[in-house]
Amino acid sequence: MKSLIFVCAMLLCISFVAASHPLGIQHKMIGTWQTNGQTFSQWDITITNYATRNIKQIVIGTDATCRLRDNSSIWNINIVQGNFIDFVTLPSHQDINAGASYTFGYIIYGAAPANLFVKAVIYA
């Protein structure tokens, strides 16, 4: 019973976070290929701001599913990393206007998109 209450409370928290940041993250596979027995895939990630205010900064978290092919395999985004990419942020000169979108890309091991989730949003 305690587990059920905990799960319900977590789902409620997640719904509040999602509702407080009206934006979308869309993954689009550009291509996939094999090199020396390793599968790689290229992805475009589009962040769409559905809010009525401009986004000054966004922090997008990820996990071990975001294994870059190499250090030059991510573009149009800033990365902060430990053993894997911990999270990404917009370049300092970049905003996402209300109703607009911003796209960045990466190449990773495997053919599935990396798990991405919004950790924080700062509005203008």
The percentage of the chain sitting over the pLDDT mark of 90, rounded to a whole number, equals 72
**Helices and strands, number each (H, E), in the chain:** 1, 8
> Is the predicted pLDDT of residue 4 greater than 80, yes or no?
no
For the stretch 45-60, pLDDT in tens is: 999 999 999 999 999 9
**b/e 90-106 (16+ beta carbons within 10 angstroms → b):** beeebbbeeeeebebbb
What are the phi and psi torsion angles at 41 (to 5°)?
-140, 145
Structure tokens given for 77: 């985004």
Task: Break the chain into its structural domains and give their ranges.
Answer: 23-123
pLDDT score recorded for residue 81: 74
For the stretch 70-87, pLDDT in tens is: 989 999 999 887 656 778
What CATH architecture does domain 23-123 belong to? Answer: Sandwich (2.60)
The residue ranking higher by pLDDT, 5 or 42, is 42
> Is the predicted pLDDT of residue 12 greater than 50, yes or no?
no
